[in-house]
């Protein structure tokens, strides 16, 4: 059975159909003081998949705690979390005395609730594998980069794919290989949450169509600065392709001001820019788990 919340019903229907899972809803009630009450189906099968993408994660993590613990009391013996976007992965070490290492804390929290965790393009920096961050019995980190590369190719476009910084190399390389494109990677210097400096790779951009590729867009400043630099170098057109479309605050306005023409994202987070569906890829991973 696939359990999902009402605000993810669209993706849940796609995933349930692709994975041939019965879909059931988790009902939520908010008390006047802000506390949550969840209601699950009265009886659950032994194997249950819980869908919850973790944008706006703070309240959703409480929902996962309540839902997972309740599912165990209702008959579930094996719980799989499908979190297309997995939050709190960036803080993988303490950069100053007293800082919480949220990746380690949240990862262990999820591993204590779920037998398996499936996610897409987790935002890992110095952590080599997802299991180091989320030490569950089984963890699967899927990549949307090949899907993005094939999507761009299907548009009949022949761009140069550019990753804005070294951390984006793995995604832009996979997307380029899948779509048969050239690719290059720039360099980023971060001066704050909204202040970044981008140095583009030493390749000829004059007259080129550039697609900027990365795993996540939050404030949009990295993409915006990269787009500005690309146009300054003579690019004819700049688009953005990203796995996780957070786009907080005025991110979309910043990208438009920088001259970005099109934004394409996966449906890991519901957003008007969604063009690449993840349900078939996640369903295949679920079938693999079920066969183990």
100: Cβ–Cβ under 8 A, 6 or more apart, which residues?
Answer: 91, 94
Best CA proximity match to 258, nearest among 233, 219, 231, 236? 231
* Catalytic status, residue 188: yes
DSSP state of 159: P
Best CA proximity match to 118, nearest among 103, 136, 105, 102? 136
The sign of the dihedral angle between the CA atoms of 220, 108, 69, 16 is positive
Helix (H) / strand (E) containing 106? helix 102-113
DSSP state of 48: E
Instruction: Determine the 3-state secondary structure of 157 from DSSP.
Output: coil
CB 280 within 8 A of CB 135: no
Alpha helices in 130-250 (DSSP H): 130-133, 145-154, 169-179, 221-232
Best CA proximity match to 35, nearest among 5, 66, 57? 66
For residue 245 the two structure tokens come to 């479309």
Rounded Cα–Cα distance for residues 192 and 189 (Å): 9
Instruction: Map tokens 């019965």 to a residue.
Output: 22
Catalytic residue selected from 123, 188, 225, 237 = 188
Length of the chain: 292
| Distances 112 to 31, 58, 105, 106, 132 between C-alpha atoms, Å | 27, 17, 11, 10, 14
Tell me which residues are annotated as active site.
188
């Amino acid at each position: 059975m696939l359990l999902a919340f009402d605000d993810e019903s669209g993706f849940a229907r796609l995933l349930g159909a692709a994975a041939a899972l019965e879909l059931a809803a988790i009902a939520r009630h908010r008390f006047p003081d802000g506390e949550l009450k969840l209601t699950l189906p009265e009886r659950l099968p032994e194997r249950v998949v819980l869908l919850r993408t973790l944008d706006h994660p703070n309240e959703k993590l409480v929902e996962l705690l309540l839902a997972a613990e309740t599912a165990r009391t209702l008959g579930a013996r094996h719980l799989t979390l499908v979190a297309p976007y997995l939050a709190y992965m960036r803080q993988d070490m303490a950069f100053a005395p007293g800082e919480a290492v949220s990746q380690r804390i949240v990862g262990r929290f999820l591993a204590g609730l779920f037998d398996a965790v499936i996610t897409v393009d987790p935002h890992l920096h110095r952590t080599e594998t997802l299991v180091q961050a989320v030490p569950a019995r089984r963890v699967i980190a899927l990549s949307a980069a090949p899907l993005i590369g094939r999507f761009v190719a299907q548009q009949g476009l022949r761009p140069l794919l550019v990753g804005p910084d070294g951390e984006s190399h793995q995604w832009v390389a996979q997307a380029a290989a899948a779509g048969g494109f050239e690719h290059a990677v720039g360099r980023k210097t971060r001066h704050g949450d909204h202040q970044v400096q981008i140095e583009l790779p030493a390749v000829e951009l004059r007259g080129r169509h550039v697609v900027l590729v990365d795993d996540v867009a939050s404030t949009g400043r990295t993409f915006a600065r990269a787009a500005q630099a690309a146009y300054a170098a003579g690019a004819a057109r700049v688009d953005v392709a990203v796995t996780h479309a957070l786009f907080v605050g005025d991110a979309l306005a910043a990208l438009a001001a920088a001259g970005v023409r099109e934004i394409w994202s996966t449906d890991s987070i519901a957003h008007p820019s969604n063009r690449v569906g993840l349900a078939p890829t996640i369903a295949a991973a679920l079938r693999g788990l079920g066969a183990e």
